[in-house]
Structure 1
């Protein structure tokens, strides 16, 4: 089956999650905890995050879940009476910091430009917000590359459910089997499986190659390898 369009995950796939979001998440947790050291310690543990170092310490749920998901547990432990207002604060802080440290992986920009130049429809599906994804792609100079861009708040659901992926297929008018979903997580691979798309994994995220291989049709080490695959005459079986 020839690849006729490509849909990308964002964090861990196009951009380095730790470098891009580390300072922003430190700001979020500090804001939510206020001056309560115990609350900060609890939030840091739940997020698997070192606030002082602005870095993750483990496979944080923040790397795969939508803000509305991980903030629910935070609101519970903080005794927050208005979880929706807290979520709005989190998303506002993340958006404020979205472009300050956005860091693409090597080969990402050239790959996106190459796919676009070759005429392949390109989309993005993230469990972050649509607004943060749009401003980041614009900051990287690839905003016009994406004919479709969806966040968890765009009305199509969130991964691992396939709603965002099927929305991209409808946008392109292509059969899902002609579209490659490129991502770094099992959420991405499971969403691609359920949508009937070609599953291409990259090892730039938090999931190991050994974990990805059983769930993917193809595993790539670097994004620049995708260009060769996507433009080849014979592609993923």
Structure 2
């Protein structure tokens, strides 16, 4: 079901969509178990109790350092630094072993590419692991560019990386839609002056997404084609 939540301003609401930026984790692919494996490997290395899937699902989305802080909130700076480094090392060894594209994502991406809509990935995952994961999932040729996090200053919801993608495409921010599964993605779109579609199949529940006020909230990838090609949709 397509749900209209918080439509953009009248100036952008009726404008055609010229480009689409996708989040990775929880949007294109279910990467939870790879992230959980890396985190728990790191937690064990500093004699901490491993986290379960529900905990990790609630914590992901803001990058490895924040994930580690949430997993060990009472850790001192030295322990936290060791935890982050151990998680990064474990994740680099197995970034997409258990990752799977969500059902219907490949078809939706292919349909957009056939319409010559430029597509990009913007993730808070480390940049090198973002590229490796997208390539490992077999969809790297559909995205230009693929961009992960290269510095804390560029971490979503900072708008700079999204705006850099728009500039690289030669498009205005208002002509681009950001697709994601978290309040962080929605905040990124708003900060950049872009429109936003939130997805229900990811790591956050629908109530949290509604509260963050995306333009649309969708239930399955097939709905993405209608939203992006017919915007605005009479949901």
> What residue is the counterpart of 2:4 in the other structure?
none
- DSSP-derived class of the 1:120 partner: coil
Deviations 1:201-229 (A, max 9, x none): 00112322233235111111012211222
- Give the TM-score of the pair, scaled to structure 1: 0.81
Greater Cα shift, 222-231 or 68-77: 68-77
5+ residue gaps, structure 2, are 1-14
Greater Cα shift, 143-152 or 174-183: 143-152
Q: How many Å separate the matches in 2 of 1:57 and 1:86? A: 17
CA shift in 2, pair 1:210/1:76, >3 Å: closer
Equivalent positions of 1:145-160 (< 5 A) are 145-153=142-150, 157-160=154-157
Which fold has the larger relative contact order, with Cα–Cα distance below 8 Å and residues 6 or more apart in sequence?
Answer: 2
> What residue is the counterpart of 1:218 in the other structure?
216
Greater Cα shift, 183-192 or 88-97: 88-97
CA shift in 2, pair 1:154/1:113, >3 Å: farther
Deviations 1:126-155 (A, max 9, x none): 111111111111111111111012212168
CA shift in 2, pair 1:58/1:71, >3 Å: closer
> What residue is the counterpart of 1:102 in the other structure?
99
CA shift in 2, pair 1:71/1:223, >3 Å: same
CA shift in 2, pair 1:108/1:4, >3 Å: same
Alpha-carbon shift at residue 25 of structure 1 (Å): 2.8
Q: How many Å separate the matches in 2 of 1:74 and 1:207? A: 18
The answer to whether residue 159 in structure 2 is matched with residue 162 in structure 1 is yes
Q: How many Å separate the matches in 2 of 1:217 and 1:69? A: 27
